[in-house]
């Protein structure tokens, strides 16, 4: 069984009779109408064995769980308001140094996102688990949608997190030493920086009025694209999303850069649809926007071939 099947089972059981529920299961956030305002609610959980490379510091773990939740709000067009964190601590993390560093990362990035941390829960367990809940407010909620002929656009660049994790897992499998891993990190600083210090794209909120639909890239571009149902992608345009250091990395390790770009998770860039890309580029010059394709009437294609990349999907 995979996570998509599990979500489908849950959706078939849960029914929404509350007229104020505008959007429920099936998007980056739930959207409710509360006193004539749109509130966005999201939760994102990370676990030690599944999500947290052991080269990350407690500070960086705090940054990651907060960023993952804030990124969901942003992709729905919501301004972050408040954040809560429930944390399961094993005996290995239940010490003053770990907790201080974890919450320092959370606090400093909550200041960047202007989203105060106002509570949560603390539990004893056998593995580190952090489950965040974030609340935001929006004027125009964005969903995972687009109209035929809308442009498919991605912010900034993608691929670096895949490369960092590629080396990390080589290290974990004994293919390279800790010393070699550190040397690669020194060589590919920006690649490891995106793994260690991810950033939610708060600036995106400045142009939501010109956006049709959106989602954040947390499970790989290939998976996120499929939420938009029907699309045509051009590999030459996708290639423009890949930064020079990732191209250099792919050449060194004999990797296909297009596959790297499509399967790099936890990038926290935004994939969105629009018919006003020129306006967006003029309004928000500090962010890079790369058109990679368009929404079509039916089918999923890349360069005329059926699109069969999957991205990251949990399997049990």
- How far is it, in rounded angstroms, from Cα 280 to Cα 81? 25
pLDDT over threshold 90, residue 25: no
The confidence score (pLDDT) of residue 35 equals: 87
> Could you tell me which CATH number the domain at 151-306 has?
3.90.650.10
The β-bridge partners of 42 are: 134
The confidence score (pLDDT) of residue 189 equals: 98
pLDDT over threshold 80, residue 17: no
- How far is it, in rounded angstroms, from Cα 123 to Cα 89? 6
pLDDT over threshold 80, residue 312: no
The β-bridge partners of 216 are: 270
DSSP state of 307: P
Query: Once rounded to an integer, what is the mean pLDDT over residues 188-209?
Result: 98
The confidence score (pLDDT) of residue 260 equals: 97
The confidence score (pLDDT) of residue 150 equals: 98
pTM tops 0.85:
yes
Write the CB contacts of 82 (distance below 8 Å, at least 6 apart in sequence).
115, 116, 117, 118, 134, 135
Nearest to 160 by CA among 137, 188, 184: 188
pLDDT over threshold 90, residue 223: yes
pLDDT (tens digit per residue) in 119-174:
999 999 999 999 999 999 999 999 999 999 999 999 999 999 999 999 999 999 99
The β-bridge partners of 305 are: 302
Task: For residue 133, give both structure tokens.
Answer: 């809940």
Task: For residue 73, give both structure tokens.
Answer: 């709000």
The confidence score (pLDDT) of residue 134 equals: 98
Write the CB contacts of 228 (distance below 8 Å, at least 6 apart in sequence).
144, 145, 146, 152, 213, 271, 273, 295
- How far is it, in rounded angstroms, from Cα 133 to Cα 26? 17
Ranges of each domain in the chain: 3-138, 151-306
The structure tokens 């687009």 sit at 146
pLDDT over threshold 90, residue 26: no
- How far is it, in rounded angstroms, from Cα 40 to Cα 135? 6
More confident residue, 283 or 23: 283
- The confidence band for 18, taking pLDDT boundaries of 50, 70 and 90, is confident
- How far is it, in rounded angstroms, from Cα 316 to Cα 308? 21
DSSP state of 206: G
- The confidence band for 46, taking pLDDT boundaries of 50, 70 and 90, is very high
- How far is it, in rounded angstroms, from Cα 96 to Cα 88? 15
Q: Which CATH superfamily is domain 3-138 in?
A: PurM-like, N-terminal domain (3.30.1330.10)
Q: What is the mean pLDDT of the chain?
A: 95
Query: Once rounded to an integer, what is the mean pLDDT over residues 48-57?
Result: 94
Query: Once rounded to an integer, what is the mean pLDDT over residues 62-87?
Result: 98
Contact yes or no for 43/27 (Cβ under 8 A): no
Write the CB contacts of 170 (distance below 8 Å, at least 6 apart in sequence).
176, 181
pLDDT (tens digit per residue) in 280-311:
999 999 999 999 999 999 999 999 999 998 88
The confidence score (pLDDT) of residue 257 equals: 98
């Amino acid at each position: 069984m995979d996570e998509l099947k599990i979500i489908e089972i849950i959706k078939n059981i849960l029914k929404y009779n509350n007229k104020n529920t505008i959007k429920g299961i099936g998007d980056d956030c739930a959207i409710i109408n509360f006193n004539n305002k749109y509130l966005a609610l999201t939760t994102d959980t990370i676990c030690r064995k599944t999500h947290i490379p052991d080269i990350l510091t407690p500070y960086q773990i705090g940054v990651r769980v907060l960023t993952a939740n804030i990124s969901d709000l942003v992709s729905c067009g919501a301004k972050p308001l408040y954040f809560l964190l429930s944390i399961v601590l094993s005996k290995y993390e239940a010490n003053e140094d770990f907790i201080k560093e974890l919450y320092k990362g959370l606090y400093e990035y909550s200041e960047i996102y202007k989203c105060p941390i106002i509570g949560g829960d603390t539990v004893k367990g056998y593995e580190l688990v952090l489950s965040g809940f974030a609340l935001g407010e929006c004027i125009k909620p964005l969903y995972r949608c687009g109209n035929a002929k809308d442009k498919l656009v991605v912010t900034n660049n993608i691929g670096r997190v895949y490369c960092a994790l590629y080396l990390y897992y080589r290290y974990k499998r004994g293919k390279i030493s800790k010393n070699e891993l550190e040397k690669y990190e020194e060589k590919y600083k920006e690649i490891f920086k995106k793994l260690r210090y991810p950033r939610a794209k708060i600036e995106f909120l400045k142009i939501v009025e010109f956006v049709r639909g959106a989602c954040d890239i947390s499970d790989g571009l290939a998976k996120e694209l499929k939420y938009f149902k029907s699309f045509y992608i051009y590999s030459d345009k996708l290639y423009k999303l890949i930064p020079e250091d990732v191209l250099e990395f792919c050449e060194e390790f004999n990797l296909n850069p297009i596959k790297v770009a499509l399967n790099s998770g936890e990038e926290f860039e935004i994939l969105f649809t629009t018919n006003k890309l020129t306006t967006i580029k003029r309004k928000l010059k500090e962010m890079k926007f790369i058109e990679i394709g368009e929404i079509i009437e039916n089918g999923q294609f890349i360069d005329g071939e059926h699109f069969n990349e999957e991205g990251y999907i949990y399997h049990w």
